[in-house]
Structure 1
């Protein structure tokens, strides 16, 4: 993709005067956009594709911090808050990324409308991350997993990439997840078929996940940011 082929993206009107300062990265699935050890002061913008933000400790334990899709900003945004989350950012699909340097971003943030959009998008994701951690403290894994299955199933079939990936999404150990899945299978709530879980008793899963469902209800009021 060429820099002149991005006229339809959300931020084009804000960046059109700085196109000569912005580069396009074509990133392959599994490729690092940036590593925690790198001292980068750049902001990336996902034109298309998906990415994940992951924290990996020195002992090798990993924690899925965030997942992103197109029209989202990503980078070492924690630097702006005088923090460092020591996270890796990895493409989870073939992606097209805009790389915006620190100097260019400083120019962009002088535009109140761009700054409003940037802060809205980043703060919204921080809120979702906080909500995810809050749910982990408030609810048992059985409750959050039942909700996750129901919300991400189609025709009563929940498909997942691998148990390893599912553990990362749920931020739990393999043992914890297997225990819940086996418990659901024994109670005839679900059955497992390779990389799919077939829902056998939707009503029971719905009842188990009621509390999680309530906290995830979308508020339709008009008290919202006008972006």
Structure 2
């Protein structure tokens, strides 16, 4: 992880894509850059910072009691990370991992507690964000019932790939999409035959972005 002060970052960047927060919060915050597969938050570890995604993608996973990893959600630009913990809704943190290069605003927890938890505008920001997050989850389950697997898988490959390289476990993906492992492998085989993807290693594929866009869920 690379970290620079927010003030140094502002010398060369515009701020139109950042949330509306008090100046003293920005002054005490940092801009952090994560590399592909770098962990942002470790599961069950005390939260030290919250994050706002400026550029890039991330994923939230949970390790079950039997050691199995479950994919819960993807994160993108303008998403918050750690917001449920500071609100007291989530007692145990989940794993959050970068997909490709990721740039975030990092706000230390003591700054959150001192300034943001008494700021009504911040709570309005979180209310809108959490409402959209709930709708996204609802849409995810709705799409699992409404669309054929090939359309859902195409969308998933586009969301989870990094520079057109896809590296997720088939078992994790099958559970996330709500299908059998066998069914998922059949669609992967079809995609390879159609030139949508090219296998370049174990659970490692190069995707044809243009072709997948044509059959993805819009």
TM superposition score normalised by structure 2? 0.67
> Where do 1:57-206 residues align within 5 Å?
57-75=64-82, 77-78=84-85, 80-84=87-91, 86-106=93-113, 107-136=115-144, 138-139=145-146, 143-148=147-152, 161-162=166-167, 164=169, 168=173, 170=177, 172=179, 174-182=181-189, 190=194, 194=198, 195=205, 196=207
Q: Find the aligned partners of 1:181 and 1:70 in 2 and give their Cα distance.
A: 28
Count of residue pairs the alignment pairs up: 192
Residue in 2 that maps onto 1:224: none
Question: Unaligned stretches of 5+ in structure 2?
Answer: 159-163, 199-204
Question: Residue 56 of structure 1: which of 63, 72, 75 is its match?
Answer: 63
TM superposition score normalised by structure 1? 0.65
Mark the CA change 1:85 to 1:63 in structure 2 (over 3 Å): closer, same or farther.
farther
Residue in 2 that maps onto 1:3: 6
Q: Note the C-alpha offset of 1:167.
A: 5.3
Is the contact between residue 51 and residue 68 of structure 1 (CA under 8 Å) also seen in structure 2? yes
Q: Which has the higher strand share?
A: 2
Q: Find the aligned partners of 2:94 and 2:156 in 1 and give their Cα distance.
A: 26
Q: Note the C-alpha offset of 1:67.
A: 1.2
Q: Find the aligned partners of 1:94 and 1:160 in 2 and give their Cα distance.
A: 13
Structure 1 residues 171-222: Cα deviation after superposition (integer angstroms, max 9, x where no partner): 555433013445x67xx9x5665244797xx8xx79xxxxxx7xx8xxxxxx
The secondary structure found in structure 1 opposite 2:65 is coil
Is the contact between residue 75 and residue 89 of structure 1 (CA under 8 Å) also seen in structure 2? no
Mark the CA change 1:76 to 1:61 in structure 2 (over 3 Å): closer, same or farther.
farther
Larger Rg: 1
The secondary structure found in structure 1 opposite 2:100 is coil
